[in-house]
Chain A
Amino acid sequence: MRPLFCLLLLSSALFAADPAMVEKGRAEEKRACGGCHGLRIIHIQRLNRGQWDREITKMVGWGTVVKEREALLEYLVASYGDDKPAAPLARSADGSKKP
């Protein structure tokens, strides 16, 4: 393999999120966030690691208990990082009465 290709492979391996960690984070999102508000407001955003970290800090300050902070952060960055394409917005069927 050419050196550049090797480097790219190594880089992607280094920066690829651990699937188990991401799954743990997904469960933590449901548990820690979903009790107070819908998850869609999270999933429509595309933020970098620092921004997601500050969002978690804000929500902890507002009373949520995060038990798996590292996993939650990894999941958010891996799924909704600022390098991910924008999320298409869902359309409600009957005006503003019901989403």
Chain B
Amino acid sequence: MLVHNDFPEDLETPVEYFDSWLTPVDRFFVRQHLPRPKVDAATYRLKVHGLVNSPLELSLDDLKKFAQVKVPATLECAGNGRGNFKPKIPGLQWTKGAIGNAEWRGVRVADLLKKAGVKPEAKFGTANGMDVGAGKTPDFIRSVPLRKLLHESTIIALEMNGQPLPELHGFPARLIVPGWDGASWVKWVNDLQLAPESDKGFYFATAYKYPNFSVGPGGAAKPEEMEVLEGMAVVSFFSKPLDQAKVKIGAVPVMGVAFGGEHRITRVEVSADGGAKWVDAKLGAENFQFAWRTFTHEFKASKKGYYTLCCRATDSAGRVQPIEAEWNPSGYLWNAVDRIGITVEG
């Protein structure tokens, strides 16, 4: 893994591990705002309270008694690719690997809320995890609109790729908000409060917002011009060959992944001449709304030389990756056409 921070750990997946539909747990990127808590599974409780008729306090065993559903979904940090923006932007300098795909298994939030009985005034669910920051560091708290919380694929996950959630990924429970930025996927979640308004803390009211107009490189927007991120941009990444690889004349296997947030990937194109000509790549068989899609292609290298390979994805909403990602003050949603260089040796 590429180490962006040691304490708490912030780890990026090298792109060569984007070679399978499911990302292995120990190759899955890690983002932590605050040091992770030590959780005692025996005393763990998830509280569902606020604007509900019957507040709940559920142990892990209680959660396991609800219907367990499996949701394949891609998790991507809103700041994935921030390191590629110019001018530079403060924050983790992710290159391409703050993204991964897993099968999450757990309880539908809708089932929990049905049992609790949501009052009509409730518009948001505010999720808090057990992690706590030093000093006056704001607590990591995120709100999710009720319409998204009630979606059949929004779950409290207890498992990731068939095993209990690892500590780094939120043991024992993590909110899964498919198609939305990783910030919404609150780890170590133990509190869900239904409320008429969203949270006013730093991590919801200030962070993870995007300007409602294009500010241009280095530009700024007023607080009232910033909107909460909902959904992700369409994006794709090469897994193989690696950037600056040397290959032999002949068939060069090309592969990668593409993700469209709440939208399915419908097309991935590959260019071997810097984007002058494009051909369709072959899409992988796994095709789920909230999960990335793999793609493969065979580049027939008939002549030695240096080649610039590009890939660009299209999703079911008709969104196509741009040549340049839109610069924004926090460096979110980087999604420029991916580009690598390879040398074909004679």
Contacts and interface: CB of A to CB of B under 8 A. Distances in A.
Interface of A: 35-38, 40-41, 44-48, 51, 54-55, 61-64, 82, 86, 89-92, 94-97, 99
A40 B11 contact: no
A33 to B, nearest CB: 11
Contact of A99 (B1, B25, B135): B1
A54 B329 CA distance: 13
Given A45-B88, A64-B135, A96-B168, A37 B5 contact: yes
Size category of the binding interface on chain B: 35 or more
B10 interface: yes
Interface in B86-129: 87-88, 90-93, 95
Given A90-B3, A96-B27, A99-B9, A35 B93 contact: no
A47 B9 CA distance: 22
Interface of B: 1-12, 14, 24-30, 83, 87-88, 90-93, 95, 133-138, 168
Contacts, number: 92
A35 B133 CA distance: 12
A14 B176 CA distance: 53
Contact of B5 (A41, A46, A86, A97): A41
A36 B135 contact: yes
A89 B2 contact: yes
Nearest to A44: B93
Contacts of A86: 83, 93
A99 B8 CA distance: 10
9 contacts: A37-B8, A38-B7, A45-B88, A48-B88, A62-B136, A63-B136, A92-B3, A95-B26, A99-B5
